[in-house]
Structure 1
Amino acid sequence: MIVYGIPNCNTVKKALDWLKENKIEFEFHDFKKKGITADKLNAWCAVFGWETVLNRKGLTWKKLTKEEQAKIDNQDLAIAYLINNTSAIKRPVVEKNGHAILISFDEVNYTQTLL
């Protein structure tokens, strides 16, 4: 299992703590350091939808002008933006056996999906 995110994100911290408490082994992929590919983002968008993968609640997105935000109106443009602004990816994303299964952190969803 791979958990994608950035280590200083509170939501990522909650997810990692939950995984550790439940003794679930995982590898952590810090996309600030390791980056992310368009193929990976496209795969996540196929599962969750590009509008979910793009975190519009975060500071990175809010720094954009309304005009800049309005221009990101489809998956291809969202992915191009996210490759260069990994902090705007909704996180964490959890993959199991190469398939995305969870995005963000919700204890009920994690319990139902992973336990």
Structure 2
Amino acid sequence: MKIYGLKNCDTCRKALKSLDGAQLVDIRETPLDDALLDLALGQFAENLVNTRSTTWRGLSPEERAHPPRDLLRAHPALMKRPLIQTAGGELLLGWTPDTRKTLGI
């Protein structure tokens, strides 16, 4: 299982601590590959972009108008976190009660 997020993100660290054997992939150091990004965008669409983040608030209205894929390529920290890829390839977004229930936690 892989957790895509930021190593200094409290929510990502909670998920990592709760998921035995999971690997954290810091998206600032290792951006999502195109196939995974496209899959995540296909499943979560604009919900993949965290519009409550400090990074988002720092963007100009013109930058905010860009497509989600372009925004996430230019600013990886804009991704809502964590993005969890299970061993079976299922994608889950966020560390919500629904995500934890799906994972059996």
Q: Tell me the SS of whatever aligns to 1:99.
A: coil
Shift of the 98–83 alpha-carbon distance from structure 1 to 2, 3 Å rule, reads: farther
Instruction: For 1:67 and 1:83, locate their aligned partners in 2 and report how far apart those are by CA, in whole Å.
Output: 16
Question: Cα distance, 1:114 vs. partner?
Answer: 1.4
Pairwise CA distance, 1:38: 2.7
The Cα shift of 1:67 comes to 3.2
Identity of aligned residues (%): 27
TM-score when scaled to structure 2? 0.85
TM-score normalised by length of structure 1: 0.79
Give the structure with the larger helix fraction. 1
Deviation per CA, 1:35-75: give whole Å up to 9, x if none: 22232111001222x21111111111110122321x22xxx
CA deviation string 1:68-99 (max 9, x = no partner): 21x22xxxx21122112100011110001362
* Distance (whole Å) between structure 1 residues aligned to residue 41 and residue 88 of structure 2: 14
Deviation at 1:5, TM superposition (A): 0.5
Structure 1 segment 7-86 matched on structure 2, within 5 A: 7-19=7-19, 24-48=20-44, 50-69=45-64, 71-72=65-66, 77-86=67-76
CA pair 60-14 structure 1, distance change in 2 beyond 3 A = same
| 8 Å Cα contact 2:16/2:23 also seen in 1 | no
The partner residue of 1:90 within 61, 80, 86 is 80
Q: 1: CA distance between counterparts of 2:62 and 2:100? A: 40
Query: What value does the CA root-mean-square deviation take over the aligned residues?
Result: 1.7
CA contact (8 A) 2:84 2:91 kept: yes
Structure 2 residues without counterparts, runs of 5 or longer: none
| Structure of greater Rg | 1
3-state secondary structure, aligned to 1:94: strand
Conserved 8 A contact 2:93-2:99: no
For residue 59 of structure 2, give the secondary structure of its aligned residue in structure 1: coil
